[in-house]
């Protein structure tokens, strides 16, 4: 299931919830304009950076991609499946895709977590 260490092939797993997110076009520039937010950096970017740092520290776990594998997959996915997304959305969705593909999180778990975040935002 896990990709080989230095490979840059595009993971072929279809992650329906991520495909749906892409079609919704809820990218930060559009959402910031809609809600009158001036900050060009999404508020979730620091959490994404922290998650990537944490993953780098537990990459000895067989299913967690190391920095190089994570970046290779991110580059491949951002150039193909998620080419319609700007950065850092492409980074976020590519990371989620990679973690689902590797079994670090299941798609139902991802859906539940996305629902919880949406509920907090809309509450």
Is this model's pTM higher than 0.85 or not? Answer: no
Angle at 112 between CA 108 and CA 113, to 5 degrees: 120
pLDDT digits (tens, 9 = 90+) for 78-116: 999 999 999 999 999 999 999 999 888 999 999 999 999
Domain ranges (residues) in the chain:
43-122
Q: Does a cis peptide bond (omega within 30 degrees of 0) precede residue 13? A: no
CA of residue 107 relative to chain centroid, distance = 12
pLDDT digits (tens, 9 = 90+) for 29-87: 998 998 899 999 999 999 999 999 988 888 666 678 888 888 999 999 999 999 999 99
């Amino acid at each position: 299931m896990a990709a080989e260490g230095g490979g840059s092939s595009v993971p072929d797993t279809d992650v329906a919830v991520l495909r749906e997110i892409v079609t919704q076009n809820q990218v930060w520039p559009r959402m910031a304009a809609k809600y009158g937010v001036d900050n060009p950096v999404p508020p979730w970017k620091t959490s994404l950076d922290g998650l990537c740092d944490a993953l780098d520290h537990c990459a000895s776990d067989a299913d967690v991609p190391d920095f190089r594998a994570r970046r290779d997959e991110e580059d491949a996915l951002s150039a193909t499946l998620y080419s319609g997304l700007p950065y850092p959305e492409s980074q976020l969705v590519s990371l989620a895709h990679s973690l689902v593909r590797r079994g670090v999180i299941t798609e139902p778990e991802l859906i539940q977590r996305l629902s919880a975040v949406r509920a907090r935002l809309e509450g």
